Structure 1
Amino acid sequence: MKLLLPLFIALHLIVARAQSVPSYSESCVQRYATHYGVPPEFIAALIDVESGWNPHALSNKGAMGMMQLMPATARRFGALQPFDGNQNIAAGTRYVTTLMWEFHGDLRLVAAAYYAGDHWVGQKRLNYRNPDVVAYVQAVRRRYLIRKFAAANPPRR
């Protein structure tokens, strides 16, 4: 029962947010995810977990922007200004697209690779035991499922 209340509150907030006009960042997610054939709810779930939609987020390891791109990843995927929301989301979505190809669309592996690095996850597949990676994948999965549910059940007007 205790687990249902936070889920209900999160779902309520997402549905309430869905009733409002999408923000510029949400529009960028929709545009780039559609362009690259990635579920927009997955990109949004990554942003939920990574930065909470803060375009100025900076981790203690140097990851930047909403999608928390490392400097080399930001450059590799074209974000010359990684704190610019449009560039950050575009580059992050391109990166997720390459991970989708590499891991054949397995969103658990994509999320793990996004967090821990594709080389490490590629070697281990689903045998990772790092509690931080497992917690991250679970958090992204939760947010993704909530967003998928909200998208499949739009509010009635």
Structure 2
Amino acid sequence: MQKLLITLLIGIACFILADPLFFFIDPKTHVSIELYNNQFKLSILQPFVYSSVPIDPLLSPDKRETMKGLMSVESSFFLHAFSKTGAMGLTQLMPSTARKLNVLNPFNLFWSIDGAQRYLTKLENRFGNLEYALAAYYEGPSKVASRGVSTEGSRYANRVLAESRRLKDQNVLIKDVLYIKPYIGVGESFSIGTELILSVLGIFDVEAGLDFTNSCSHFVYMRPNISDSLGLIIGERDLDFTLGLAYRKLPNFGVQFLLSSNDFDLSMMLKVWQIYFTAGISPKGLRFGVVK
């Protein structure tokens, strides 16, 4: 009966935390079950979207109104917005556009705004008209240059301009996200604990946790995001210095490796169709799972 219950729970939901960014771009409640050789751990990951910093001081005066309208339409001022087409961040830069603008991490608050402002200025200079520039931002400059502004592009530009007027004198705050992750572990030993996963302006993330098994253990990791696909991990677990590296190809693949003098952990996640397959290895043994 116990094996059947474990199998059923894994079939419902099983998620190995390969990288917080996978959760930040999809802020909803997750139920996680990690199965080890002699234990399974049940967790609930509960997101809290919160208001962080005001946007106005970060914008160029000549672009302030337009940029507020653009971000409202593109992301509703959510720092970790991620579209089905792969557009990222506050200003929804596509990966190819971000590379051309030398924006390594479009989820970084400052890089996203700077890149979008430079891009919009370039488009305005090219087309000589704000409506055309906004349409080109939305559907691509090559398409606008060859075919003119489409009905959809014009509708997008009008939405941005309408939002710009509406938000002109409003103090808008950026929205960010944190997760609280309480859990219990059942098997050869019983454990209980909680973790905090916090995004700091898209520049770096913070993970911290307390675990009570036979004694109290803890960890604190800081994760500087070098780019949207690469991040460092620096911190401590029970005062043992830990280093690591995380690579992700959002939203389909992620892998991370942690190493300290007494421990290591390698975990990965792969999305095939609409199913995530996960696996990991550490001194505790192997773990596997899937999530729909």
Structure 2-normalised TM-score? 0.38
**Contact 1:63-1:69 within 8 A present in 2 as well:** yes
Q: Distance in 1 between matches of 2:135 and 2:113?
A: 18
Answering whether residue 154 of structure 2 is matched by residue 134 of structure 1, we say: yes
**Contact 1:77-1:95 within 8 A present in 2 as well:** yes
Structure 1: runs of 5+ lacking an equivalent: 1-21, 152-157
Q: Equivalent of 2:138, from 112, 115, 120? A: 115
Give every structure 1 segment of 4 or more consecutive aligned residues whose post-TM-superposition deviation is greater than 4 Å.
Answer: none
Q: Equivalent of 2:67, from 9, 29, 43? A: 43
Q: Equivalent of 1:73, from 97, 101, 111? A: 97
> 1:24 Cα deviation (Å)?
4.6
Counting only pairs closer than 5 Å after superposition, residues 24-103 of structure 1 correspond to structure 2 as 24-29=54-59, 33-34=60-61, 38-103=62-127
**Contact 2:136-2:144 within 8 A present in 1 as well:** yes
Letter of the aligned partner of 1:110 in structure 2?
A: A
1:23 aligns to what SS in structure 2? strand
What's the CA shift string for 1:110-144, capped at 9, x where partnerless? 11001000111112334x23xx3232122112112
The answer to which structure, 1 or 2, has the higher relative contact order (CA under 8 A, 6+ apart) is 1
**Contact 2:63-2:117 within 8 A present in 1 as well:** no
Higher radius of gyration, 1 or 2: 2
Q: Equivalent of 2:148, from 109, 116, 125? A: 125
Structure 1-normalised TM-score? 0.68
Letter of the aligned partner of 1:134 in structure 2?
A: S
| C-alpha RMSD over aligned residues | 1.9
**Contact 1:49-1:139 within 8 A present in 2 as well:** yes
Aligned residues: 119
Classify 1:76/1:24 alpha carbon distance in 2 versus 1 (closer, same or farther; 3 Å).
farther
Q: Equivalent of 2:163, from 102, 124, 143? A: 143
| Greater strand share, structure number | 2
**Contact 1:25-1:85 within 8 A present in 2 as well:** no
**Contact 1:56-1:64 within 8 A present in 2 as well:** yes
Q: Distance in 2 between matches of 1:146 and 1:51?
A: 16
Counting only pairs closer than 5 Å after superposition, residues 14-29 of structure 1 correspond to structure 2 as 23-29=53-59
| Greater helix share, structure number | 1
Matched residues, percent identical?
32
